[in-house]
């Protein structure tokens, strides 16, 4: 009788792919996790309990068919596993690398709840699609028939690219406009290579280019081309710009040299990985080498910053966060990786201001100690200042990773009728992603606020389906 490939969680323990040792991985920006061997991927996939109510699937924003492709992997049917994974996820190899599985699928795994350790869903997902690329199973996008309709997508991040994929497969003509010189949005310039190596992103963009998607880069909508001109050229428009405006900190000397927005720091580092000339990095402004670095914030962007600073050769890296470890929003896995790499976390602290030397350069961060008080409106215990406990952290570079806010798109696009919420995000319907402007949709962070790549992918796919319905019966949809 053939050996049962599933339900092996009792006899087989959880095992993540090997990580490169910290002293080696901090010498470069390569990904830190090694690939599963075929046998190990099958073994770990076989730990799935195939439960009747798959909470992993229901807690995945894309509702990926996780138990099914785990079973196919355990049975050695990798090509079928890939095809099933790709059916619901435009970029499974990217989600496998950067999704916070500990907060989504893996965090809700039934065997994790029963104390056996979660199935390593993300690592298996990454393995399946990496294998598909290596074996040539990833097929070119070839529409059954071309359609005359044209759709403009403003922004080439995960939401925009996911929509472009769905629309082009349906034969629609797609043009993507983006302000940067490379497509990919934060996947290209915001997320460091040790989490997501850039060739992984570039090959998906190349796949779309070969399928006929046109990319208009170095194009600022509202400056290089008007929003009205885009609407006039295309049958529908999808806004997927993301949110890039850094939240400000109202504190003394917050504009001092050496106090930097997180995205400026990360973008410069990623540009150097492409071999670009980056004057502000080359002159030391955005380079942490030899500096005492303090990163302020507790989310995934803060984790990216501290780990990037280590790789750039900072003499010390500290992360200040106003709550404790249990209440931080960032990935627990990323926090553990950062600690292994030498990052010091200073919990229950918040910046009070910045100190400068006689030359006006940053010399330290004035820090106030906090304690957790009563729960706030979100249910989390609100941080409270401990009076008289202020102190100074020496610093040559302070990186502000306090989150992002939307730009004023109605002003930027000269479209005052583009309706926004009180938070400045674009107002769009929950399921169809239609805005209040006819023929205009919006997805991703510009609607949700700063969120996850996987949610942007879901939004992009849903919006593309809605646009296809609109293009097939525009008069009817417009009447509705």
Domain contains 14: no
104, 29: one domain: yes
Looking at residue 138, what is its pLDDT?
97
- Which pLDDT tens digit goes with each residue over 445-463? 999 999 999 999 999 999 9
Looking at residue 6, what is its pLDDT?
74
220, 105: one domain: no
Looking at residue 2, what is its pLDDT?
45
Stretch among 28-32, 100-104, 127-131, 171-175 having the lowest mean pLDDT: 100-104
> Of 403, 435, 459, which one is at a domain's C-terminal end?
403
266, 398: one domain: yes
Looking at residue 4, what is its pLDDT?
66
397, 281: one domain: yes
267, 392: one domain: yes
d(CA 220, CA 314): 35
Domain contains 142: no
Domain contains 10: no
Say whether pLDDT at 478 is over 50: no
Say whether pLDDT at 477 is over 60: no
- Which pLDDT tens digit goes with each residue over 288-345? 999 999 999 999 999 999 999 999 999 999 999 999 999 888 888 899 999 999 999 9
- Which pLDDT tens digit goes with each residue over 233-264? 999 999 999 999 888 888 999 999 999 999 99
Looking at residue 352, what is its pLDDT?
96
398, 262: one domain: yes
Looking at residue 3, what is its pLDDT?
62
263, 397: one domain: yes
- Which pLDDT tens digit goes with each residue over 136-148? 999 999 999 999 9
Domain contains 252: no
Domain contains 175: yes
- Count: domains in the chain: 3
Confidence band, pLDDT 50/70/90 cuts, at residue 474: low
Kind of pairing between the strands at 391-394 and 362-375: antiparallel
Confidence band, pLDDT 50/70/90 cuts, at residue 32: very high
Average pLDDT, the chain: 94
What is the domain-level CATH number for residue 121?
1.10.1060.10
Confidence band, pLDDT 50/70/90 cuts, at residue 479: very low
118-148 burial, b at 16+ Cβ within 10 Å, e below that, comes to bbbbbbbbbbbbbbbeeeebbeeeeeeeeee
Beta bridge partners of 366: 353, 392
Say whether pLDDT at 164 is over 70: yes
Domain contains 204: yes
Say whether pLDDT at 5 is over 90: no
What is the domain-level CATH number for residue 437?
3.50.50.60
Confidence band, pLDDT 50/70/90 cuts, at residue 7: low
- Which pLDDT tens digit goes with each residue over 333-392? 899 999 999 999 999 999 999 999 999 999 999 999 999 999 888 888 899 999 999 999
Q: What is the largest CA-CA distance in the chain?
A: 79
315, 284, 294, 367: CA torsion to nearest 10:
120
> Of 104, 135, 166, which one is at a domain's C-terminal end?
135
CB 171 within 8 A of CB 101: no
412, 397: one domain: no
Domain contains 421: yes
Expressed as residue numbers, the domain containing 53 is 22-135
The label of the residue with tokens 């525009």 reads 474
SS (H, E, C) the chain: CCCCCCCCCCCCCCCCCCECCHHHHCCCCCCCECCCCHHHHHHHHCCCCCCCCCHHHHCCCCCCCHHHHHHHHHCCCHHHHHHHHHHHCCCHHHHHHHCCCCCCCHHHCHHHHCCCCCCCHHHHHHHHHHHHHHHCCCCCCCCCCCCCCEEEEECCCHHHHHHHHHHHHCCCEEEEECCCCCCCCHHHHCCCCCCCCHHHHHHHHHHHHHCCCEEECCCCECCCECHHHHHHHCCEEEECCCCCEECCCCCCCCCCCCEEEHHHHHHHHHHHHCCCCCHHHHCCCCCCCCCEEEEECCCHHHHHHHHHHHHHCCCEEEEEECCCHHHCCCCHHHHHHHHHCCCEEEECEEEEEEEECCCCCEEEEEEEEEEEEEECCCCCEEEEECCCCCEEEECCEEEECCCEECCCHHHHCCCCCCCECCCCCECECCCCCEECCCCEEECCHHHHCCCCHHHHHHHHHHHHHHHHHHHHCHHHHHHC
User: CB within 8 A of 222, min separation 6: which ones?
Assistant: 412, 413, 414
Domain contains 239: yes
299, 182: one domain: no
Say whether pLDDT at 10 is over 80: no
186, 201: one domain: yes
Confidence band, pLDDT 50/70/90 cuts, at residue 68: very high
84, 207: one domain: no
107, 210: one domain: no
> Of 372, 403, 434, which one is at a domain's C-terminal end?
403
């Amino acid at each position: 009788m053939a050996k049962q490939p599933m339900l092996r969680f009792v006899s087989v323990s959880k095992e993540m792919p090997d990580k490169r040792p910290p002293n080696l991985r901090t010498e470069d920006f390569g990904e830190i996790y090694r690939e599963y061997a075929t046998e190990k991927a099958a073994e770990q996939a076989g730990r799935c309990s195939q439960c009747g109510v798959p909470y992993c699937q229901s807690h995945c924003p894309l509702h990926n068919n996780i138990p099914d492709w785990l079973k196919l992997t355990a049975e050695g049917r990798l090509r079928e596993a890939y095809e099933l994974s790709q059916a619901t996820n435009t970029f499974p190899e990217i989600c496998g690398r950067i999704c916070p599985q500990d907060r989504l699928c893996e965090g809700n795994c039934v065997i994790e709840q029963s104390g056996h350790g979660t199935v390593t869903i993300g690592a298996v997902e990454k393995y399946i699609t990496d294998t598909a690329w290596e074996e040539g199973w990833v097929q070119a996008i070839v529409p059954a028939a071309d359609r005359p309709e044209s759709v403009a997508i403003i922004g080439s991040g995960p939401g925009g690219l996911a929509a472009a994929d769905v629309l082009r497969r349906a034969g629609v003509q797609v043009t993507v406009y983006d302000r940067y010189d490379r497509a990919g949005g934060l996947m290209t310039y915001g997320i460091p290579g040790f989490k997501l190596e850039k060739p992984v992103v570039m090959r998906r963009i190349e796949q779309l280019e070969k399928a006929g998607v046109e990319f208009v880069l170095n194009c600022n909508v509202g400056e290089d081309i008007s929003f009205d001109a885009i609407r006039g050229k295309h049958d529908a428009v999808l806004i997927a710009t993301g949110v890039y405006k850094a939240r400000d900190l109202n504190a003394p000397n917050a504009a001092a040299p050496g106090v930097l927005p997180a995205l400026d720091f990360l973008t410069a580092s990623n540009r150097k990985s492409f071999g670009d000339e980056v004057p502000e990095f080359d002159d030391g402004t955005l380079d942490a080498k030899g500096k005492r670095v303090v990163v302020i914030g507790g989310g995934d962007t803060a984790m990216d910053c501290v780990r990037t600073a280590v790789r750039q050769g900072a003499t010390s890296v500290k992360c200040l966060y106003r709550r404790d470890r249990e209440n931080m929003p960032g990935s627990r896995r990323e926090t553990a990786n950062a600690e292994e790499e030498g990052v010091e976390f200073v919990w229950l602290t918040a910046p009070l201001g910045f100190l400068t030397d006689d030359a006006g350069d940053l010399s330290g961060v004035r820090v106030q100690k906090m304690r957790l008080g009563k729960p706030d409106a979100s249910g989390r215990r609100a941080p409270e200042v401990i009076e008289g406990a202020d102190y100074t952290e020496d610093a040559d570079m302070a990186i502000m990773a306090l989150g992002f806010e939307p730009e004023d798109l109605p002003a930027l696009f000269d479209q005052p009728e583009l309706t926004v919420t009180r938070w400045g995000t674009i107002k769009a319907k929950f399921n169809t992603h239609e805005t209040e402007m006819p023929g205009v949709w919006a997805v991703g962070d510009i609607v949700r606020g700063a969120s996850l790549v996987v949610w942007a992918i879901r939004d992009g796919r849903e919006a593309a389906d809605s646009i296809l319905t609109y293009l097939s019966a525009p008069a009817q949809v417009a009447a509705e």
